[in-house]
Chains A and B, each alone.
Chain A
Amino acid sequence: MSLSYVSDEEIQEYLDGNMSSREIRDFRQRLENCESSQKRLREYTLLYKALKEERIAGCTADFENAVMEKLPAEEEQDEIFNLSNLPIILIGLLVTLGITAYFVDFSPIFAKYLASPLFHYEINWAVFNPLVEAYKTAGDKYYIAGFVILVLMLIKFVDYMFLETEYEKIGH
């Protein structure tokens, strides 16, 4: 094989425009002295030209309409919780907790909880919460308000930490 021989890979690199100016100079010099390489360069050049002009069949003229007809009428709601359901969820929670608080004696549960500084913080916060005001009139049961808020915060925490990532996965 002549030293001037140019490989097929080099010819393709040249035609793809992947060579540096130095490589191009070297390539052209070698090409000048090798007729077989010149012939292959011409063949590849023609092949590139033909590939660029290749015809590929297309879909029928009615293709767009066919797709449009098949599109879902409305996007499916991926969200597990819909904002419009939020008031219903809240009312349900409050009613359930209210009934539970009326019939169940939670004092043993709160016995240790009362001494906790966290509890006092919760109570202070709860006093300003109008939803909790009602509980205050029911004597000891307003302690439950702090508990309710803690439970709600816990639900939100679990939702934020674990469930929201799950919604995203469903979305993807």
Chain B
Amino acid sequence: MDDKQLINSILSGNQEAYRIFIKKYVRLVNHVVFKMIANETDREDVCQDVFIKAYQNLKNFKFESKISTWIARIAYNTCINYLEKRQIPLYEDVRSEQETLEDHPGNIITPDDFTVDRNLAYKLCQEIDELPVNYGLILSLYHLQEMSYLEIAKILGMPEGTVKSYLFRARKMLKDRLTRSFCLEDLCH
């Protein structure tokens, strides 16, 4: 079932079709929300809000963009509202209290998940969490969701050039921080 059929099915009142919709896009919404919101107890509530808003506004979706871009935009706006309500600045490091991965059990890569690059993976998670919120989000959308600059620009409501510049800066910051911690090449296999 493609997106158009799925949405038509939901609009015709088939709530089970919405369950399929959630399954399809929950990973993307997680990536946006979990990157932007540090508070673990609130994250899942925000994700739920995103899917409820999407359900209520689905009839207004005109297929002028990809559904993934549309729902990621809803997730981004919901997070912005959340951050504004709590007066958390978007372009500053919200995780400046030197929280460690141990403080975020949901974020931990358990020993079972460790690969040969476990030190790097562990350190990378830490360093990404230290980046400004939007940097982490752009990295995630580009590398994990494989979105284009244009799609990310639509989600974040910023020019394509800015997205590209943030992405370059974020990767450079990450690389510099990681190379300060250990020799990256030693982890290369």
Contact = CB atoms under 8 A, between A and B. Distances in A.
Contacts of B107: 55-57
A171 B60 contact: yes
Contacts of B100: none
A64 B22 CA distance: 7
Contacts of B120: 46, 50
B152 to A, nearest CB: 13
Interface string B106-122: 11010001010100110
Given A63-B26, A71-B15, A56 B31 contact: yes
A112 interface: no
Contacts of A46: 117, 120, 184-185, 187-188
B77 to A, nearest CB: 14
A75 B23 CA distance: 21
Contacts of B31: 56
A47 B47 CA distance: 29
Contact of B125 (A54, A66, A67): A54
Given A55-B125, A58-B26, A47 B55 contact: no
Contacts of A50: 117, 120-121, 124
A51 B171 CA distance: 9
A56 B18 contact: no
Given A8-B168, A44-B171, A71-B52, A60 B44 contact: yes
Contacts of A40: 175
Contacts of B22: 63-64, 67-68
Interface string B14-28: 010011001100110
A43 B19 contact: no
A11 to B, nearest CB: 9
B69 to A, nearest CB: 17
B26 A59 contact: yes
Contacts of B76: none
B21 to A, nearest CB: 10
Interface string B46-63: 011001100110011000
Contacts of B140: 54, 56
B185 A63 contact: no
Nearest to A42: B185
A58 B30 CA distance: 6
Contact of B143 (A43, A48, A59, A70): A48
B113 A56 contact: no
Contact of A57 (B26, B59, B104): B104
B35 interface: yes
B67 interface: no
A40 B171 CA distance: 12
Contact of A43 (B44, B109, B115, B184): B184
Contacts of B59: 75, 171
A39 interface: yes
A44 B175 contact: yes
A63 B175 CA distance: 35
Given A43-B175, A44-B175, A70 B44 contact: no
Interface of A: 8-9, 12, 39-40, 42-60, 63-64, 66-68, 70-72, 75, 171-172
Given A57-B104, A59-B43, 9 more contacts: A39-B185, A47-B124, A47-B184, A58-B26, A63-B26, A63-B48, A70-B52, A71-B52, A75-B13
Closest 4 CB pairs of A and B: A57-B106, A51-B143, A43-B184, A67-B51
